[in-house]
Structure formats: structure tokens, C-alpha cells
Structure 1
């Protein structure tokens, strides 16, 4: 969607375009209500500020939509399509990496009670696996900050993909 169209579109259409970036209603509302934006950079800066901080409830709600790293969502939704694209560096045919990610995901979920989240875009499977293993050594408080930051990065990357000049 071009920025001019984003600025002029009905609020419901804008909200529908924003929600797959991250399903946090406050974030969607703040951006939709702040239109018009002069440049894409202005929009992204506003979106970054609106995402800092996410509350614990907002993080939990957003994580409910994220698949496990290594799992490819099959739904025909925009969010699922974005996730498949972001995880393109993880080859599901690489059984060793798939098994290591599955084991790491289970350990992470057992320790933290939520899905492991990382901005997968631009990362290789070994990089993701190394981050997963490192983060298993974190405290819950350390992970809270990292997960919120990863959500912000994902939301902004997705928003960049939705908006063009």
C-alpha cells in the first residue's frame, strides 16, 4: 500500500493492514489515529515509539499469533504469509536443525511458558538456533525485555513491507 493510500484509506482498512504486523490493538489504534504521515520514515518512527513499551498483556496477545520457529504456518492469512517469508532461512528439510529447533522450542516453552520468538528475517537457521540456546540461559526478566524488542523489530519490518512510497 502506498503511503498516500494509507493516509487516506478508511480507518478499518488501515487497521486491517496494520494488524498482521502485530496484533496489538493499542498500537494499531495509535498509528491509525495519527495519520497522515509525511514520509514512510515518519510513519516508522511513530510506529517504533508506539511499540515502546509493549505491556506484558500485549506481548502475550501478540505471541498467541506467532508459530514456533521451524514450524511453517499453512493458513492463507497475511500474517501467516509474512511468517513463512521471515522464516525462509530455516530449511524444514534439514532434519538435524529441525530436531534441534523442536527440542529448543520445547525447552524454552517449559522454562518461560510461551513460544520462543525471534526476528527470523535475515537470520540463518544456525543463527536462530544459537540465539535460542543462549536465551535458554536467561532469567524471565531478561527474556521479557528481549521478547518485547523482537516483537517491535518484527512489527516494524512487517510495516515496512506493507507501506511503500
Structure 2
């Protein structure tokens, strides 16, 4: 992303700027929020937005529903809960920030999350996904244990919802109203 269009802290872009950048730049801006091309393009192509709330509303509408293939593709970009991605990408930085509630020094919870992740992957064939932002490691572990009791169909619905929540939170952190809002 062109550093000149981001705030000094390199974490957000004003809505007016997002509305005015070319389509390719807008796509590059949103893709780390959720790498589903149809979703990103639906948001970008609906510009301009009068407010971040309007942008978030379009993001929500574009996410309903995600197809099974879209969910599967997007899941490839999400690390296991408790494992911090090492890559230096925008998406990896977002993930590290979102998982701040997982204390690597809490060996008991970290081990329980690792064990739960393995059980979840064995049962459902994919990583356990949860909106980690704002949740403690214990809350995530409790949700993981509860979700292990679900059917694959129930989990498909929950995972799509978690992807939406994560994407909307990421947009909220990435696009700001700006100084004139």
C-alpha cells in the first residue's frame, strides 16, 4: 500500500481517501481484511461511501452468504488460535493484534488451546476460527470446547459468521471517518 495514503501510524486510511483511490489500490487495501475477491470487489465497486457505517453495511451485505469455497479459501489465511503468524504482512499484523488475549506465558491455556485446535482440525478438517479480538484466551478455549460438540453443518454457519465479524472489525480498524467527520 502506498504509504502516502495512510495515516502516520500506518494503520488506517481516511474514508475520503478510500473513496478516491483507484480500484486496484482500494482492492489491495481491503484484501487483508478478508481475502475473498467477490466480497472485496462488491465493497470497492459500491464506493463512494458517506460514512464508515455505510461502508460496514455494504461489507455485511456482501458477506451474506459466503459460499463454502469462499470460506475454505479465506480460512487458508488464518493461523491457529495461540499461534502468532511470523510474516510481515498487513494481514499477519492484524492477526497478531487480534490474538493479543492469548498469553504465551500461560502454559496451561496455551497447551489446552493447542490440544483443542488439533481435535477441532481432526473433526472438521480446518483450523478453529474465532473472532479473537476482545476475547481472553480462556473465553476462546471455552468456545473451542463448546464448538467441538457441533455438527459440521453448524460449524460451517458459525465459521462464516466469524469470518464476517473479523472482516468488519478489520475494516473498522483500517478505515476512519477522518478529521472532518
TM-score, structure 1 as length reference:
0.99
2:83 to 71, 81, 85: 71
Deviations along 1:49-85, one digit per CA (max 9) or x if unpaired, are: 1011110000000000000000000111000000000
Aligned to 1:135: 147
Where do 5+ consecutive residues of structure 1 fail to align? none
Equivalences for residues 18-57 of structure 1 within 5 A: 18-57=30-69
* TM-superposed deviation, 1:130: 0.1
1:155 to 161, 167, 181: 167
Partners of 1:108 and 1:158 in 2: CA distance: 25
Partners of 2:66 and 2:138 in 1: CA distance: 28
TM-score, structure 2 as length reference:
0.90
Partners of 1:141 and 1:131 in 2: CA distance: 17
Partners of 1:35 and 1:108 in 2: CA distance: 39
Partners of 2:104 and 2:83 in 1: CA distance: 8
Aligned to 2:21: 9
Partners of 1:93 and 1:71 in 2: CA distance: 13
Partners of 2:166 and 2:63 in 1: CA distance: 11
CA RMSD of aligned residues (A): 0.5
Where do 5+ consecutive residues of structure 2 fail to align? 1-12
Partners of 1:109 and 1:67 in 2: CA distance: 12
